[in-house]
Structure 1
């Protein structure tokens, strides 16, 4: 009964504020305020407020929410464990496949003394020296007049 009274008072106050806003010729804002202020009254008339009050003060409802939370926690825990185990399984399969591919192509690889680079090997860039790094910095400083 108290919740319905509070919601009705909030609706009445909101409609009053909407009337004042409309008096100031801000009709769009007044319409928006009126729409928001009608929501609590609509909830009271629909019975949603009484349902919420009954649910909030019901121990069996809180037990039900607790069970739903526990079920959600178990579900998420199993998903995390499954992802971790699936990820390690995938890594193990990929490593085994790489070892097999390396063993099969081992006879076709050139000897260590060969000077020809492998086709799939990434090319290394020449290492930058400290002088190269400082020349870039000097160029930037000169560009900005420092």
Structure 2
């Protein structure tokens, strides 16, 4: 009963402030204040306030929230410990070792630079025309920037 009275008083005060705001010709703000002021009365009329106040004032409910908090804390601790130690259980470690031994081509991730090249010597590059604007050295300098970027990314 006390909670319902407090909600009604808050709504009445909010509607009074909305009326003063409307008197000052701020109709949009006054309408928004009136909407916010009617929410507590609506909650009292639907019975939601009685349900919430019954839940908030029971110590068993707060103890339940405490137990849920402890459970969440334990889950987070186990996740942190599992991530720091790498693979979690012995079964997982054994499975990881077996997968490593049973790999079809363990060195397949390393690129082979020699394979795939043609056996014939590549054709000689054509000589630059007499009116070429850039010498060969300038073209090499242009590619040095690209090579630096590729080396930075490990390519």
Q: Report which of the two has the higher share of helix.
A: 1
Q: Normalised by the size of structure 1, how large is the TM-score?
A: 0.57
Q: Normalised by the size of structure 2, how large is the TM-score?
A: 0.54
Superposition RMSD on alpha carbons, in Å? Answer: 3.4
Instruction: Specify the SS of the correspondent of 1:77.
Output: helix
User: Which 4+ stretches in 1 moved above 3 angstroms?
Assistant: none
1:103-142 equivalent positions in 2, closer than 5 A: none
Residue 69, structure 1, aligned to residue 69, structure 2: yes
Deviations 1:80-136 (A, max 9, x none): 11121128x9xxxxxxxxxxx9xxxxxxxxxxxxxxxxxxxx8xxxxxxxxxxxxxx
- Which of the two has higher C-alpha Rg? 2
User: Which residue is 1:57 aligned to?
Assistant: 57
Deviations 1:51-107 (A, max 9, x none): 2211122122122111111111111111111121128x9xxxxxxxxxxx9xxxxxx
Q: Supply the distance in 2 between the matched residues of 1:35 and 1:86 (Cα, whole angstroms).
A: 54
Runs of 5+ unmatched residues, structure 1: 90-100, 102-121, 123-146
Runs of 5+ unmatched residues, structure 2: 88-92, 94-106, 108-150
Between Structure 1 and Structure 2, how many residues are aligned?
Answer: 101
The offset of 1:20, in angstroms, is 1.2
**Higher mean C-alpha deviation, range 42-51 or range 64-73:** 42-51
Q: Supply the distance in 1 between the matched residues of 2:46 and 2:66 (Cα, whole angstroms).
A: 27
